[in-house]
Structure 1
Amino acid sequence: MAKPTSSAREASGSASPLTAGGYPAGAFRKYKPFFLILIMKFVLIGSGVGFDLTVSGVEELKSCDEAYIETYTNPLDRKEINLLENKIGKKIAVLERGQVEGRFLLDRAASADVCLIASGDPLTATTHITLVMEARERKIPVKVIHNSSVYSAAPAKSGLQIYRFGKTATLVNPRPNYQPKSSLDAIRSNLENNTHSLVLLDTEPKPMEAKNALEMLSEFETAVVLSRLGSDDEKISYGKIKDLKELELGRPPFTIVIPAGLHPVEQEFLDTL
């Protein structure tokens, strides 16, 4: 007797059902890990000012495979990281600058859900923008969870109108053969244009003290000094720079604003500090 044809076997139900592509059902089950790689993602989470993560940021950290944090842009007390670890139920590894700027994070994100916690709003830092672009080039899905930033918090806490701010300036800690003048030039230019100046302070090798910064800014008349924005021990001081240098201004990290000509409402707000 002739053997039944494949059509006959299928008709009798003895053959395995076929997928739409003509392959036996379940043929790719053993390759499931390969397909999982396609849904791995890289998540950038802003920690806000004062290390105050959003609800969605915390949820991403709970569900991810690996959690990391960079603290070189804004030094953070280890106990605050420990509290967050207890909340999300996993360890958070602290990364050095080289690990963030190199291939480490995206190499990990090729096979795992990876979260990186960054200070403030994550896309206000050039390094993190570069990470997003490189992830897209490597076809790694990216999710960004925004948060408050010093760029919005410092003007708001100073009572100054945010649209009246000019170029941002950064003061760096003294280094051998490196004493840039561009920051002071930016402030001078802002004052000529009657715009306020947001002044960021260097954090390496350690956070710059406010009094050292005020010494560098002594050619200007007044300043707002903001200590530990968003923290329980936040402190904000306003006055003439020569007088501020004699006061207790709080603890790092600091941000400074050099105001231009003040609107009456701005002046009234500053007088309440």
Structure 2
Amino acid sequence: MASRGLAGKSALVTGGSRGIGRAIAERLAEDGAVVALTYAREEAAASEVVEGIRKRGGSAFAFAAPLGDRGDAGRLWAAFDEAARAHAREYPEHTADPAVDIIVNNAGIGRSAALPDLTEEGFDEVFAVNVRAPFFIVQHALDRLRDGGRIINVSSGVTRVALPEIIAYGATKGALDTFTHTLAKDLGSRGITVNAVAPGIIDTDVNADWLRGDAERAEWAASISALGRVGQPEDVAAIVAFLASDDARWVTGRVLDATGGSGL
């Protein structure tokens, strides 16, 4: 694994044990960043990601940081510091620096019910993970995020394509987009860029039941993209890597469509 434009940078990727988050963690490590990835329950999967990154010459560590309860952001950064110290003991060439250059708010709940069936508990849960957690993760990181840093939020194509069956989920991603462009204005004086990436249908284990097990649905999913195929996690990771790089230094407050032209 050759270090490239992110050498010397440190990155946090929430929900980095599988799917899009895994691909993002792997790509940022490939580009030279030391990657800290969080998981909620999938410790074995997170360890597999870390092991793979290290085998390819990259640097990464993982730690548990469930989201959705009050105080989760503070607990996340406390766990980050502890894991970074452990990583530095194992790899002395890496310091246990509490600072971070790149924050990728990827962890989220990808489900909700249609309006008639949505409970207050379900509404609160999806907003707690998808909106409140990223907000306070950033708030708690203001003193440790280096000037010139990057914040990248994983949004969704459902902010422009109405899907009533997941109405609360769509609302959370709309809120995340507003958070993105407002935060970009707030942190611009420090040279910190804030952007979002909005994937469409991506071939991950979350979608495996219907996407890989039903040829007709898979064909439909490919047909709605202008590029004629279903997206892969690596497609989204490449866009995140661009936004994390110096090449994107003049892009901020934007939501980059990562749907492959779905619904055009």
Per the normalisation by structure 2, the TM-score is 0.34
Larger fraction in helix: 2
